[in-house]
Amino acid sequence: NAGVMQNPRHLVRRRGQEARLRCSPMKGHSHVYWYRQLPEEGLKFMVYLQKENIIDESGMPKERFSAEFPKEGPSILRIQQVVRGDSAAYFCASSPEIRTGAEAFFGQGTRLTVV
Partner 1 sequence: AQTVTQSQPEMSVQEAETVTLSCTYDTSESDYYLFWYKQPPSRQMILVIRQEAYKQQNATENRFSVNFQKAAKSFSLKISDSQLGDAAMYFCAYRGETSGSRLTFGEGTQLTVNP
Is residue 37 within 8 Å of 109, Cβ to Cβ? yes
Is residue 65 within 8 Å of 72, Cβ to Cβ? no
Taking contact as CB under 8 A, which single stretch among the options 18-26, 41-49, 61-69, 75-83 is the one that binds partner 1?
41-49
Distance CA 104, CA 92 (A): 9
* Residue 106 within binding range of partner 1, rule CB under 8 A: yes
* Residue 39 within binding range of partner 1, rule CB under 8 A: no
Q: What angle (nearest 5°) sits at the alpha carbon of residue 52, between those of residues 15 and 21?
A: 25
Q: What angle (nearest 5°) sits at the alpha carbon of residue 92, between those of residues 88 and 95?
A: 155
* Residue 43 within binding range of partner 1, rule CB under 8 A: yes
Taking contact as CB under 8 A, which single stretch among the options 18-26, 55-63, 70-78, 79-87 is the one that binds partner 1?
55-63
**One of 77, 79, 82, 89 touching partner 1 (CB under 8 A):** 89
Taking contact as CB under 8 A, which single stretch among the options 14-22, 35-43, 68-76, 78-86 is the one that binds partner 1?
35-43
- For residue 115, how far is the Cα from the chain centroid? 21
- Nearest Cα residue to 95 out of 34, 21, 33: 33
**One of 2, 63, 72, 100 touching partner 1 (CB under 8 A):** 100
Interface with partner 1 (CB under 8 A) = 31, 33, 35, 41-45, 48, 55-56, 59, 89, 91, 93, 95, 98, 100-104, 106, 108-109, 111
